[in-house]
Structure 1
């Protein structure tokens, strides 16, 4: 049994082969969707690599042509050749046609980094909010004025079309897809295995001074870990700053630099994420989940949860227990 077919479009540069950066996002998608995790979910994804085989520093073998994109539940374009972005070359017409056909068949369309140029060339981003690596969003906006380019966020989710910035933001979006399909618990455990944060909201700043999460030997690492283990308690910036042996002002600045958000917003994100897990994995009433997450009353939980997730806790529980990927009757 499969949790859904994920088809990845492999688009090597026909002049130079597959570049290291193109392989990076391709490898991220393969690592998330191509490695079954039977202890996390009974049904994992079925992965297809579609397109031309790539050569270069590493070789990439594909098992389908681009026609394999049609019929998939999710189609991912990890990146396009550098020449498309830097020299203004057209996206290969056969890829454009395949993407349009896949979208018409009902697939969820996803781009990682410069893959947005391919979705835009296929007309799939017109009138939609989209992003790419901040170094390339200027070219994307200039070449495709119908796209609502946002150069500041990690990723965008427009329902059936999702885009991410480059590098590790691609992993954030892939984990976001797992969260949507299989729930926060599965996504959190997978993130732990990949040694990355369980959830970074798509609206988090793309360009921050220190994008790498705090390590254990950093003064922030232990205190943020402690905070996630004590979310039910009344946590304040002053309290966390004292545990980090920093002034509140310095603590605020360090969290902003490391996490791209304020300490209070970071706490709220952790509490909402914990509420998601409890809604999926327990039958606790909303009032008790408010207590367990530190969000307080049921009304307060509903207000913050609905604002962050877009649906009420009750609707979230109904939708995600059980949950599955977008499907067309498979």
Structure 2
């Protein structure tokens, strides 16, 4: 057992008997906002996590603002981490090669520890060779630069975060909140994740991808958007909604609606509907005792087989397996 650690083993998706240790690594050029996200999110999770912050050499680090940050711990604390979060850095600090002290710090991390990057910190993981052959994401503004530097990484700049098992990467600033909430949800179920989100006054889940945040011409009229129709559809997921139904509610032609929807959300209306139905099904599987057939009906899938197909495509498991995992975690 490591110094200061409570004795027990972390079982992903299972019942935990101890507090999980999250260590946040702050590097030169760190964004102060992103540096504070893990402490804010995990710290609101009913004592399930302990959050510590370190630097690569134990010394203060420069932020991208007009101040430096002094932390309590040096890199030795990384060896005790169950999860390591690397906070994002200003693009001007992105290294071509890892500084020796950063490489040495990363080498301290256990092989079974979960790794998380926020925004540009994906460059740090990539420079360490940890993303080779993996799917990952980073901020859309630096995606071209990332591809040039790391062509062996399967970069997806259209999503808010990527969960690739042991390694999770996220996009811009607020996506750090998204990925931390996702970890809470994965570890302990949606009830605790929703509680944390309410405590921090943030949405428990954001739909769509980065495309909705990329600079685009401002619509001439806010009334011409699709937000109201999305809200309307979310209240009717149990109904067999079609593109024609959505376009009619928005008072647009099919072609205009589909184009504006994709511009705002970053995906087609059909794909968005499936995503929302799967998300709602996951909540019902976690929080209710409805049968798989009943859950399918509640969220607008015609059959239980359709629900199984879409859930497996989204997260790779069956409804029953998902229920067993997350109801156990909730208990």
User: Using the alignment, how far apart are the partners of 2:39 and 2:24 within structure 1?
Assistant: 8
Question: Is structure 2 residue 78 aligned with structure 1 residue 72?
Answer: no
SS of the residue 1:162 aligns to: strand
8 A Cα contact 2:277 2:299, kept in partner: yes
Residue 254 (structure 1) aligns with? 260
- Specify whether residues 269 and 149 from structure 1 end up closer, same or farther in structure 2 by C-alpha distance, changes over 3 A only: closer
* 1:27 partnered with 2:36: yes
For residues 277 and 28 of structure 2, what CA distance do their matches in structure 1 show?
A: 42
Q: What secondary structure does 1:109 align onto?
A: strand
Q: Which runs of 5+ in 1 are unaligned?
A: 325-330
Offset, 1:47 = 1.0
Q: How much does 1:298 deviate? A: 0.9
**2:24 aligns to what?**
8
> Is 1:45 matched up with 2:49?
yes
Deviations 1:219-258 (A, max 9, x none): 5333322321221122222222233333333222222111
Structure 1 residue aligned with 2:328: 322
Q: How many residues align?
A: 305
Contact 1:132 1:165 in 2 (8 A): yes
Question: TM-score by structure 2 length?
Answer: 0.80
Which of 301, 314, 318 matches 1:308?
314
> Does 1:143 find its partner at 2:159?
no
The unaligned stretches of length 5 or more in structure 2 are 1-16
Supply the RMSD in Å over aligned alpha carbons. 3.0
The aligned counterpart of 2:101 is 94
* Contact kept? 1:210, 1:258, Cα under 8 Å: no
Instruction: Give the direction of change, closer, same or farther, for the CA distance of 1:166–1:66 in structure 2 (3 Å limit).
Output: same
User: How far did residue 160 of structure 1 move?
Assistant: 0.4
Query: What's the CA shift for 1:71?
Result: 1.7
Following superposition, the deviation at residue 58 of structure 1 comes to 4.6
SS in 2 for 1:102: coil
* Shift of residue 5, structure 1, vs aligned partner: 1.7
Q: Does 1:153 align with 2:159?
A: yes
Q: SS of the counterpart of 1:153?
A: coil
Instruction: Write the deviation string for residues 40-94 of structure 1: whole angstroms up to 9, x where unpaired.
Output: xxx4321111114345435534232122122211101112354432xx5543322
1:83-122 superposed matches below 5 A: 83-85=92-94, 88=95, 90-104=97-111, 106-122=112-128
Counterpart of 1:62 (choices 68, 71, 79) is 71
